[in-house]
Amino acid sequence: MEQFATSQEILSVKTTVLPKIRSFEVKILEFDKKSKENIEIIKRFDNIILEKASKFRVESIELEKFAQEDKKLLEHINIISKK
pLDDT in the model for residue 52: 82
CA torsion sign, 51 to 55 to 58 to 64? Answer: negative
Ramachandran angles phi, psi of 59, nearest 5°: -65, -40
Residue 36 confidence (pLDDT) above 90: yes
Contacts of 13 (CB under 8 A, 6+ apart): 5
Q: Residue 80 — very low, low, confident or very high, per pLDDT cuts 50/70/90?
A: low
Top-confidence residue, 30 or 61: 30
First to last CA, the chain: 118
pTM of this structure: 0.52
pLDDT band of residue 1 (cuts 50, 70, 90) is low
**Cα-Cα-Cα-Cα dihedral sign, residues 22, 26, 28, 29:** positive
